[in-house]
């Protein structure tokens, strides 16, 4: 079911200045807390010793209405959980911070010191006394709702989702259209979980196509479970996500990302049942800026989709690496894996052989999928090797193994499958370096995606959407034969679809199988005679085969059907030229030039026009 947006709110007001002040007051509190620990002697009390730690380190989530399951801000609330606080701080389950010391420093990296942990132990075992009320520091104020100020746009699912009382964690994808009729530039998103007791984290992507909406429509309940469409991506190299206590700051000026009309937010939400039936209705606030981006980051991804872990294998390892073709600044990283991953490591090896730890997690917990933002960007020179190494435990002794007795497990997006990715957000010096980096990186990540698709297709062989998606990937990779194989399957699954035969014909043409290509295009035209692009491509192939008169008929028809089709006009010119009708060829090129082609196409068109004017055929 596709969501509608329920509200549209006007320009955000002056509430924006609040977060900056809040950050400052946190820093002050944190310092105060550390100072107090060292001065604590004898039996610690809540008011003097524990409250400063709780207010600074726990209160962000554990306040009334906050994302944690209970508040700890008053003595009564903390006292009732003193032993639990001592237990979970000692085990470092709380405050939740999975990255090992040695990577970072990261924004929000604020683990308790050994002294603080020891103090909470002593307070708990001494009967958790309250102490003198004069010692109690000012209780921090947390305002509910938007932490980044009033958003410019707020979108919510049109219907809330009902989460069952029991059972295992639920991962559900909600597709929410953004109501904008013009291009906007986004400085930030804030996610309000709606029901923080059950919403554990959210990952947000953008889909500029209808692919995600189709998946959602196929499921009658709000949202859907399953694959994230290939077209749903992080926007312009920016992470969009939420974990309790972690709100991504607004982007600085010049770093906004572009939001086109017709875009859907694809919001993957991890929910943990609470014991009773729960209603989940998140909202997403969008903060707009007025300026287009001056710098756009690149999202790199290391990881393997070849994952295939035998049952019982307690130390299955994947590794991946990429050599940077340009200098970069690493802004943030986000490791992603499912339940069987145990250890996670990302390392940069510089050309001089020195290494920098990007991220290290000794005990991976899929429930805490943080984005780790470096306090200061990590500068890495050209020729640095980025590498990742993840270890998985598919044995029965792994308490997090979701399938017992263990079974063979492959790569896949469902929570019972496994994944192993390290997302790395980098900035390049300029747009030319950015282009170099993207050109080098994209084929690598697409080839990995193709492996994942092939795996998923093995278990879902009749999904036309999967075959079409992977065929597009193969076409972009220049592997037209493999593209044709998948388009052929789509055409077999949907023999009455003109588009399926067109796709197959076009991919066959790209791989040089002209006769087969022509016969598929003719099939497409038999189903849909007014299919302009099929006519045009068929005309182009006939021209290649020297059948110019026949070609001209098809191309003329394509131009008649789609007068603004630049490729059809270009083919028309070529057909006329082959037949010696150079005046008509020049005329067709000039019409094409008036149709606002991109600068690179216009350049090619001008070259052709010059050749035709001189009565010669341009070099192919």
Kindly state whether residue 69 participates in binding other proteins, applying the rule CB under 8 A: yes
Least Cβ distance, residue 402 to other proteins (angstroms): 4
Residue 86 three-state SS: helix
Nearer to other proteins, 62 or 533 (CB): 62
Piece of 84-92, 287-295, 346-354, 450-458 that binds other proteins (CB under 8 A)? 84-92
What the block records as the tokens of 578 is 């082959």
Which residue in 219, 327, 365, 587 binds other proteins (CB under 8 A)?
365
Kindly state whether residue 128 participates in binding other proteins, applying the rule CB under 8 A: yes
For residue 411, list its beta bridge partners. 418
99: which DSSP letter? B
Least Cβ distance, residue 91 to other proteins (angstroms): 6
- Residue 202: in which H helix or E strand, if any? strand 199-207
- 549 burial type by CB count under 10 A (0-12 exposed, 13-18 middle, 19+ buried): exposed
Kindly state whether residue 80 participates in binding other proteins, applying the rule CB under 8 A: yes
Nearer to other proteins, 28 or 84 (CB): 84
Piece of 89-97, 114-122, 259-267, 514-522 that binds other proteins (CB under 8 A)? 89-97
Kindly state whether residue 337 participates in binding other proteins, applying the rule CB under 8 A: no
Kindly state whether residue 74 participates in binding other proteins, applying the rule CB under 8 A: no
Residue written as tokens 């340009």?
Answer: 326
Piece of 77-85, 280-288, 382-390, 592-600 that binds other proteins (CB under 8 A)? 77-85
Which residue in 57, 62, 63, 79 binds other proteins (CB under 8 A)?
79
* Rounded-to-integer distance, Cα 529 and Cα 539, Å: 14
Convert residues 378-417 into a mask of x (bound to other proteins by CB under 8 A) and - (unbound): ---------------------xxxxxx-------------
Nearest Cα to 481, choosing from 493, 471, 491? Answer: 471
Nearer to other proteins, 79 or 187 (CB): 79
Kindly state whether residue 276 participates in binding other proteins, applying the rule CB under 8 A: yes
Which residue in 93, 439, 443, 616 binds other proteins (CB under 8 A)?
93
| CA-based torsion, 31, 35, 38, 40: positive or negative | negative
Q: Are 255 and 185 in contact (CB under 8 A)?
A: no
Least Cβ distance, residue 456 to other proteins (angstroms): 22
* Rounded-to-integer distance, Cα 576 and Cα 246, Å: 63
Which residue in 76, 101, 254, 261 binds other proteins (CB under 8 A)?
76
* Rounded-to-integer distance, Cα 434 and Cα 131, Å: 58
Convert residues 160-199 into a mask of x (bound to other proteins by CB under 8 A) and - (unbound): -----xxxxx---------------------------x--
For residue 186, list its beta bridge partners. 257, 288
* Rounded-to-integer distance, Cα 394 and Cα 314, Å: 5
Which residue in 11, 91, 182, 614 binds other proteins (CB under 8 A)?
91
Kindly state whether residue 126 participates in binding other proteins, applying the rule CB under 8 A: no
What the block records as the tokens of 181 is 């009729």
Say if strands 184-192 and 257-259 run parallel, antiparallel, or are unpaired: antiparallel
Q: Are 16 and 148 in contact (CB under 8 A)?
A: yes
Kindly state whether residue 574 participates in binding other proteins, applying the rule CB under 8 A: no
* Rounded-to-integer distance, Cα 535 and Cα 550, Å: 11
Report how far apart the first and last C-alpha atoms of the chain are (Å, whole number). Answer: 49
Total site size for other proteins, rule CB under 8 A? 34
Least Cβ distance, residue 74 to other proteins (angstroms): 12
Least Cβ distance, residue 327 to other proteins (angstroms): 40
* Rounded-to-integer distance, Cα 225 and Cα 268, Å: 9
Q: Phi and psi dihedrals of 375, rounded to 5?
A: -60, -45
Where do contacts with other proteins occur on this chain (CB under 8 A)?
Answer: 69-70, 76, 79-84, 87-88, 91, 93-94, 127-128, 165-169, 197, 273-276, 339, 365, 399-404
């Amino acid at each position: 079911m596709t969501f509608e947006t329920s509200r549209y709110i006007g320009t955000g007001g002056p509430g924006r200045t609040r977060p900056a002040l809040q950050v400052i007051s946190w820093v002050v509190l944190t310092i105060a807390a550390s100072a107090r620990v060292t001065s604590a002697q004898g039996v610690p009390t809540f008011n003097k010793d524990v409250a400063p730690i709780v207010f600074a380190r726990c209160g962000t989530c554990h306040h009334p209405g906050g994302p944690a399951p209970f508040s700890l801000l008053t003595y009564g609330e903390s006292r009732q959980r003193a032993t639990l606080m001592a237990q979970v701080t000692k085990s470092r389950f709380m405050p939740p911070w999975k990255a090992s010391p040695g990577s970072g420093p990261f924004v929000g990296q604020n683990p308790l010191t050994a002294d603080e942990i020891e103090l909470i132990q002593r307070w708990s075992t001494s009967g958790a006394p309250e102490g003198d009320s004069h010692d109690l520091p000012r209780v921090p104020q947390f305002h509910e709702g938007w932490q980044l100020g009033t958003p410019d746009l707020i979108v919510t699912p049109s219907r809330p989702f009902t989460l069952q009382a029991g059972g295992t964690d639920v991962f559900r994808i909600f597709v929410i259209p953004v109501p904008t009729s013009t291009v906007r530039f986004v400085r930030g998103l804030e996610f309000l979980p709606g029901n923080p007791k059950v919403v554990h984290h959210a990952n947000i992507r953008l889909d500029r196509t209808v692919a995600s909406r189709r998946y959602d429509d196929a499921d009658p309940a709000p949202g859907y479970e399953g694959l994230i469409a290939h077209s749903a991506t992080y926007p312009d190299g920016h992470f969009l996500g939420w974990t309790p206590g972690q709100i991504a700051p607004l982007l600085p000026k010049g770093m906004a990302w572009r939001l086109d009309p017709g875009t859907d937010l694809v919001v993957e939400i991890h929910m943990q049942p609470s014991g009773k039936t729960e209603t989940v209705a998140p909202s997403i606030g969008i903060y707009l800026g007025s300026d287009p981006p001056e710098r756009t980051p690149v999202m790199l991804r290391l990881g393997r989709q070849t994952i295939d872990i035998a049952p019982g294998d307690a130390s299955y390892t994947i590794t991946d690496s990429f050599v940077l073709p340009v200098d970069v600044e690493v802004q943030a990283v986000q490791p992603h894996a499912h339940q069987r991953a145990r250890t996670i490591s990302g390392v940069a090896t510089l050309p001089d052989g020195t290494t920098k730890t990007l991220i290290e997690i000794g005990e991976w917990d899929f429930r805490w999928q943080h984005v780790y933002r470096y306090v200061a960007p990590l500068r890495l020179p050209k020729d640095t090797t980025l590498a990742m190494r993840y270890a998985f435990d598919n044995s029965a002794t792994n308490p997090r193994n979701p399938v017992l007795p263990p079974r063979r497990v492959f790569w896949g997006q469902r929570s019972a499958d496994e994944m192993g990715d390290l997302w790395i957000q980098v900035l390049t010096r300029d747009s030319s370096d950015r282009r170099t980096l993207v050109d080098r990186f994209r084929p690598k990540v697409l080839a990995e995606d193709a492996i994942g698709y092939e795996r998923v297709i093995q278990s879902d062989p009749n999904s036309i959407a999967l075959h079409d998606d992977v065929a597009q990937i193969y076409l972009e990779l220049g592997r037209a034969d493999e593209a044709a194989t998948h388009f052929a399957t789509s055409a077999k699954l949907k023999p009455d679809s003109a588009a399926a035969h067109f796709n197959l014909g076009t991919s066959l043409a790209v791989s040089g199988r002209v006769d087969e290509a022509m016969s598929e295009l003719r099939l497409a035209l038999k189903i849909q005679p007014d299919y302009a692009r099929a006519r045009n491509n068929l005309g182009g192939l006939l021209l290649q085969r020297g059948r110019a008169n026949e070609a001209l008929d098809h191309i003329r028809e394509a131009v008649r059907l789609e007068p603004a089709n630049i490729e059809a006009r270009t083919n028309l010119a070529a057909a006329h030229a082959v037949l010696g009708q150079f005046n008509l060829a020049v005329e067709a090129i000039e019409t094409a030039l008036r149709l606002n082609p991109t600068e690179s196409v216009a350049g090619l068109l001008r070259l052709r026009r010059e050749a035709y004017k001189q009565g010669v055929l341009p070099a192919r």
